[in-house]
């Protein structure tokens, strides 16, 4: 079986950028796109905070441009997912969903992190049409509008506070009669006149003709006081956490309690030589496309350095 110099697992901004850097360094690279070509970014519409596009750019167009740039430089793209890995010895063995196997001298893990959803069919129906899991990405489109944020932790409070700087009204939907957020974050939202907290409230549906126009809520579900009502909103934001896509690597690669891959200092190096992590799979804090792309560049550079040591 032929050994390839570099395998990139994942196809978001981190994965494509990593491949661009390795190919420019003369390192033959294969990209396994995974189940969502282009990554989670493609679930949104217009990107207005990626440098270089004064009028913004369609998310799918941006990711396809990155992909084509990697291909133009010589990268091979496989429309397949990685199902298992064996990092017990170098070079490393990777199994794909079609049962084929690859052997790689370096591996760049760029599998991202998936936002947690409530599991409502309407979340899928209105994806990119009023439903978002990233206030920083999409909040700009809801200036002077009414939005709702679901969640009761620090992330939800941060999202609600950020959206309150743009929107005219923010509802914070909290399932329990209390928030899990830290005291300082709770105070930030309770002190904000634009934010209204809806405790003991569950989301059961969304409605609208050409996008989200409102949310159906149940107050005190399962109690004698249960009450269902509809609330007009323009945008619906999920803030109930993210799940890093690192499960198949955890036997070999160090992760934190949430599953995010632990890297060494400010580098993309993992605990395994020749294996690097880039993008949201190793970033529990920012989760931004431009930061993911930058970490992909760093991973590509480090892969080149590692390969040089083998020679």
Give the position of tokens 């133009």.
72
Query: Is 9 within 8 Å of 95 (Cβ atoms)?
Result: no
How are the residues of the chain apportioned to helix, strand and coil, as percentages rounded to the nearest 5?
Answer: 30, 30, 40
Dihedral pair phi/psi, residue 126, rounded to 5°: -105, 20
Question: 120: alpha, beta or left, given left = phi > 0 and alpha = psi -120 to 50?
Answer: beta
Query: Is 5 within 8 Å of 26 (Cβ atoms)?
Result: no
Q: Considering 122, 138, 234, 280, which one is annotated as catalytic?
A: 138
> Which CA distances in Å does 30 have to 3, 17, 22, 306?
11, 13, 10, 17
Active site residue 157: no
Active site residue 137: yes
Q: Considering 122, 134, 157, 280, which one is annotated as catalytic?
A: 134
Distance CA(117)–CA(239), nearest Å, equals 9
Active site members:
134, 137-138
């Amino acid at each position: 079986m032929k050994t390839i110099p570099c395998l990139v697992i994942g196809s978001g901004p981190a994965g494509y950028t990593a491949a661009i850097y390795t190919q420019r360094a003369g390192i033959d690279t294969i990209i396994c796109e995974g189940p969502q070509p282009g990554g989670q970014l493609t679930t949104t519409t217009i990107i207005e905070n990626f440098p270089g596009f004064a009028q913004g750019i369609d998310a799918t167009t941006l990711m396809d441009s990155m992909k084509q740039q990697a291909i133009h430089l010589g990268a091979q793209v496989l429309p397949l997912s990685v199902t298992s890995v064996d990092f017990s010895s170098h070079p490393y063995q990777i199994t794909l969903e079609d049962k084929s196997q690859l052997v790689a001298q370096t591996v760049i893990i760029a599998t991202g992190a998936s936002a947690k959803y409530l599991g409502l069919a309407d979340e899928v129906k209105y994806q990119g049409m009023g439903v978002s899991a990233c206030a920083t990405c999409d909040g700009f489109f809801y200036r002077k509008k009414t939005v709702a944020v679901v969640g009761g932790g620090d992330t939800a409070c941060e999202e609600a506070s950020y959206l309150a700087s743009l929107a005219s009204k923010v509802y914070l939907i909290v399932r329990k009669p209390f928030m899990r957020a830290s005291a300082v974050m709770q105070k930030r939202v309770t002190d904000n006149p634009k934010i209204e907290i809806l405790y003991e409230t569950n989301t059961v549906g969304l409605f609208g003709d050409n996008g989200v126009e409102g949310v159906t809520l149940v107050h005190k579900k399962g109690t004698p006081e249960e009450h269902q009502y509809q609330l007009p909103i323009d945008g619906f934001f999920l803030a109930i956490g993210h799940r890093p896509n690192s499960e198949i690597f955890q036997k070999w690669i160090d992760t934190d309690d949430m599953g995010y891959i632990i890297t060494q200092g400010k580098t993309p190096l993992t605990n395994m030589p020749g294996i690097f992590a880039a993008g949201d799979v190793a970033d529990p804090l920012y989760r931004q496309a431009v930061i993911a792309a930058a970490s992909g560049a760093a991973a590509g550079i480090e892969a080149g350095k590692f390969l040089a040591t083998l020679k």
